[in-house]
Structures are given as C-alpha cells and as structure tokens.
Amino acid sequence: MLWFLIFNVMIEFYTLGTSSAVPTGNRSLSANFLNFQGAKMLFDCGEGCQNSLMVNNLGMMGIDKIFISHWHADHFSGLLGLVQTMGMEGRKKPLFIYGPKGTEKFTKRLLELGYYHRTYNIFAENLEPGSVVEDDDYSVKVFETDHRVPSVGYAFVEDSKVKVSRAKMEEYGLEPCEEIGELKKGNSVEIDGKKFEPEDIVERVPGRKIVYTGDTEFSEKVVQASKKADLLVHDSTFSHELREDGRHGHSSAYEAARVAKKADVDKLVLTHFSRRFTNDTSELVKEASKEFPEVVAAEDGMKFEITAHRPSSD
C-alpha cells in the first residue's frame, strides 16, 4: 500500500495575495506559495505575503526559493519584511531569489535598507526567458511575458517518472514484488514462468505542471509555456470591456481564458484583480467561463491540490 501513497503525494499551491497595484481590505498583493514534497517556494512576494504565510501555517522558514516575476512594488514589497523575519528567527540556510533582468541590482538595494542583522546568505540571480532552475525531481522554467517592464513567468514542472500501471498488474494477476522493480529499471523479468517486458507493466508518466504568469497581456509565448498545464494562474486584472478601452500591460479574464483554451490546461485560476473587482469577481468568472469552463477566481489563502499523474491505462 505504501507505494500507492507515495505516488499520490499532492502538490499544494496557495494564492496568498490576489490584488493588483494596491492591497484592499480582503486582498493582499501578489504572492503565491508552492509546496512540492517539502520543497517550498514563493512566486512573487507582495505586501501581506508574510502575514498570509502565518495565517495559513505554511512555515516561512522552509522557503528556499523566491521567484519574482518583475520589479513593480506590488510583486516584491513583502520581500524585505520576510527576509528580516527569517533572520530574527535564526535562519541559517541560504535563500535564493530569482527574477528577470535587474534582480541582482534590486535585491542588493533592498537588503541595504534599514538596520538589521542577517544570519544567513541571500543569493540573487538574473534569469532570461528560456532559463531553467533545476532541483531534485523538478525544474522551474522561465518564459517571457508582455508587460511594461522586464518581466517573466514561471512554469514549475515535475520530472517525468517511470510508474507501474495498477490496471496492467491486475490484468496479469500480479502482486507487488522485486521483479516489478526490475521492470521499472528497464529490465526484462520472469514472474511465475511468464516473461514480462518493461512496456507490459510500466510507463513513463509526464510530471505535473503549474504555470504562473505574473503580469502580462495576452501572449502566444505564454500559451506555449502553458501547454498541458495542470494549473494555470493567470493575470486577470479587469474585464474585456475595460481592456478594449485601451488598458495595457495586463490581461482581461477573457484573454486569460483564451490562453487556457489554446494551451489545453486542466484548470484556470484568475488572479491579480483590480480594486473594482475586489469584492465581486463573478463578472470575470462569467466572462472567462464562456471561453474556458474550468475556471475559478482566486481568493487570498485559496489552496489548490494537484494529484500525481498515473499511467494512461489506470
């Protein structure tokens, strides 16, 4: 039974801050948290992020990587308080901050503000579209977005895995055994006098994928980066009516839904709302759902769980 539980470890994704430009009474500024098998990371860190982490008991000290989409204040204004709290709590392990052109410069300036004692190292790195940050069992891929300043989006991609098909095992009447492990390694085996090839029982299964756009207008580059994502968290600052009035640098709910449809994602999460929608996002959900049905408007502290992919035969 243990092997089944391991394969079904959830990826947890929280939308911690969902307002654009300025915070409101019920929405903090842009911030998102991802937990993958204990690897904790932030995607943007707007004002209110630290409090949202505490309210949701997410363990800020476990965060090792922060990915900034761009250096407008509503996407990084929570960073200084967060790194100072980590120091006050005695953090020792390093923190890595990634972002587009200017990240090294802006991080350095931020860390020079005020008087405080930091107990750990912070490393900042400029990333270009096409860059990949790799770690055990996953990577974070950087793609270009269409905003008014240097900006990027991020695709978290779990490594593909060789997995045993439960349906195929039942079809052959097999129970878990050492020989199954050999099949996963690519070796042929014999079980109860019958020869099995790896392709009889196991399959390489694509990993889960979560895409966060940061701020962007509709972009084919975002479509390509979002292909087959389990979860697409997309800028949806206003309605398409307002977009057609000449607003730039952001997407309407309709445009976010267009990306989701063209990219064939499983679920669309609208976020980064203008103040006029802070108490009622139903208009945006209605607008998006005409183009793409699997859509939800994010709230601060909303949690999304993405289950592990299984072989196609299961």
Query: Which residue among 44, 74, 215, 300 is the active-site one?
Result: 74
Point out which residues pair with 141 in neighbouring strands. 132, 155
Residues 301, 18: Cα–Cα separation, whole Å: 9
74: annotated active-site residue = yes
For the annotated catalytic residues, the residue numbers are 74
